[in-house]
Amino acid sequence: MSAEKYQPLDRIFHPASIAIVGASTSTPETGWVGRLLKFGYKGNIFPINPKVNKINGLKAYPGICNVPYPIEYAILNVPARFTPQVMRDCAAKGVKFVHCYAAGFSETGTETGKRLEAEMVKIANEGGIRLLGPNCMGIYAPDSGMTFDEDFPKEKGRIAFVSQSGAEASRLVFLCQDINLHFSKVISYGNATDLDATDFLEYLAEDKDTNIVAIYLEGVNNGPRFLSAVRKCMAHKPLVILKAGLTENGAGAAISHTASMTGSRAVWEAFFKQTGAIPAQTMDEVADIIQGLARIKKPRGRRIAIIGRGGGIGVVATDICERAGLEVPPFSIETRQSLLQIIPEAGAGVRNPVETKIGTEGATEFYLKGLPIVDGDMETDAILIQMAIDVYGGHAPDLMQNVTESAYALCVAADSIKKPMAVVLFTGGHTDTIEAVTAARVILTEAGIAAFSGIEAAARAISKIYDYYRFLDIKM
């Protein structure tokens, strides 16, 4: 991207005014106008609808050229066949950015759709308009109050997400909200006729409000430019990529979703190897890796210490960790001898995994006395705690208080732990545990401790984070 195009992209995230072309009167609460109002967009909103005078209390205009104020950004919410005319109006009005929410273009595979899209792109190019979409949800930027879902959190964070899919963009926002992580910018860019992942990646690499970047990608328009943007981003901050359509029929589905050519699996495997970008296979995994990057210190190696309750659960956890590319070696003799001082011999192992005593009380005691011992062990590099919510004796009437106390104790203990550490909120499945799990997750994540919903998720995330840091050490 040329320098003169790069600088202005920043404005797309906080335009002074937004026009909604095809502002809806039927759904005042959740239409684009109502959404921006409710979410607290800080600029001017101009509803465009020739049939009414007001929408959500704002004056409506029959056309974009009738608005007597400058318009920096326009959202197109009209049927595809009307978009060329609206684009001409936008060009005439001097609109800088158009977000085409409407679908019905090249992704349908029809000649009409392709022709309409080509026409829209031509008008944008000639009129100096940067085009986002079509067939996309647009921008969520809590800083300026832009959003495509009025239920998104208003809190600002330091994660950016660039997504070819609107639904996946929404999912990641909510998945991260659950673990107390928030976003600087989220972009759903659909068919990528003009602005695409590469443009945003180049911008986000240098964005001072963003520490971690994630991408959901079906295809790229310009391979070499994308590769160079990925390298630039990785030089500044970690990049997580969910490349969809890597299987044979996944590629077919991607074509009918965003008309993307997905590229071969071999090419993408080489791409990940060369760039060090962190690959993810599902949105849940994207959230897990982001949490790991945000909250787990750099591990020295792959050797994991596992702390938990339930011998069989420890064996399964060990298998899961080793399958994820980690190792669960026995603790040193010294560590085991120290652990035996606080763990009763009967029915609990100190080899690694180490079993805490029964219930949340047993867990709490271990966090305070045992965790420092595991931290000092020379045979392991990182600590994975399966926090017992209700396994054996946890279904007492005071479960919530016990779990809360245990979580706070873990926060206190974690303060002096030097090794990278992650927690799995492990439940035996009692029906009254959901609230306790939620409470523990809030306490831990507010203290900056990584809290995962399952051992598989945690193990995969730790393994990929280790790979990331190792790539940095060796290649960069």
Binders of a copy of itself in range 226-255 (CB under 8 A): 242, 244-250, 252-254
Tell me the C-alpha distance between 45 and 15, whole Å: 10
Candidate list 75, 124, 197, 320; residue touching a copy of itself; CB under 8 A: 320
Binding flags for a copy of itself, 60-79, as an x/- string (CB under 8 A): -------------------x
Q: Tell me whether residue 145 or residue 393 sits nearer to a copy of itself (CB atom).
A: 393
**Binding to a copy of itself by residue 178, rule CB under 8 A?**
yes
Tell me the C-alpha distance between 304 and 145, whole Å: 42
**Binding to a copy of itself by residue 147, rule CB under 8 A?**
no
Candidate list 349, 365, 447, 470; residue touching a copy of itself; CB under 8 A: 349
Candidate list 323, 412, 418, 448; residue touching a copy of itself; CB under 8 A: 323
Tell me the C-alpha distance between 157 and 212, whole Å: 10
Please report how many Cα atoms fall inside a 13 Å half-sphere around the Cα of residue 268, on the Cβ side. 21
Q: Which pair of tokens denotes residue 374?
A: 């595991």
Q: Tell me whether residue 146 or residue 175 sits nearer to a copy of itself (CB atom).
A: 175
**Binding to a copy of itself by residue 167, rule CB under 8 A?**
yes
CB environment 213-250: b (16+ within 10 A), e (fewer): bbbbbbbbeeeebbbebbbebbeebbbbbbbbbbeeee
Q: How far is the CB of 184 from a copy of itself (least distance, A)?
A: 19
**Binding to a copy of itself by residue 192, rule CB under 8 A?**
no
**Binding to a copy of itself by residue 322, rule CB under 8 A?**
yes
**Binding to a copy of itself by residue 171, rule CB under 8 A?**
yes
**Binding to a copy of itself by residue 199, rule CB under 8 A?**
no
Binders of a copy of itself in range 393-422 (CB under 8 A): 393, 395-396
**Binding to a copy of itself by residue 424, rule CB under 8 A?**
no
Region of 301 on the Ramachandran plot (φ > 0 left; ψ -120 to 50 alpha; else beta) = beta
Q: How far is the CB of 16 from a copy of itself (least distance, A)?
A: 29
**Binding to a copy of itself by residue 133, rule CB under 8 A?**
no
Candidate list 24, 25, 108, 221; residue touching a copy of itself; CB under 8 A: 108
174 alpha-carbon distance from chain centroid:
9
Candidate list 151, 155, 398, 446; residue touching a copy of itself; CB under 8 A: 151
**Binding to a copy of itself by residue 256, rule CB under 8 A?**
yes
Q: How many CB atoms lie within 10 A of CB 122?
A: 12
SS3 string of 91-127?
HHHCCCEEEECCCCCHHHCCHHHHHHHHHHHHHHHHH
DSSP string, 126-178: HHT-EEE-SSS-EEEBTTTTB-S-TTS-----SEEEEES-HHHHHHHHHHHHH
One-letter amino acid of 312:
G
Binders of a copy of itself in range 84-103 (CB under 8 A): 102-103
**Binding to a copy of itself by residue 163, rule CB under 8 A?**
yes
Tell me the C-alpha distance between 10 and 20, whole Å: 20
Contact call for residues 394 and 402 (beta carbons, < 8 A): yes
Candidate list 72, 196, 199, 218; residue touching a copy of itself; CB under 8 A: 218
Candidate list 15, 279, 299, 353; residue touching a copy of itself; CB under 8 A: 353
**Binding to a copy of itself by residue 318, rule CB under 8 A?**
yes
Q: What is the dihedral of CA 378, 380, 383, 389, to 10 degrees?
A: -100
Q: How far is the CB of 429 from a copy of itself (least distance, A)?
A: 3
Contact call for residues 196 and 133 (beta carbons, < 8 A): no
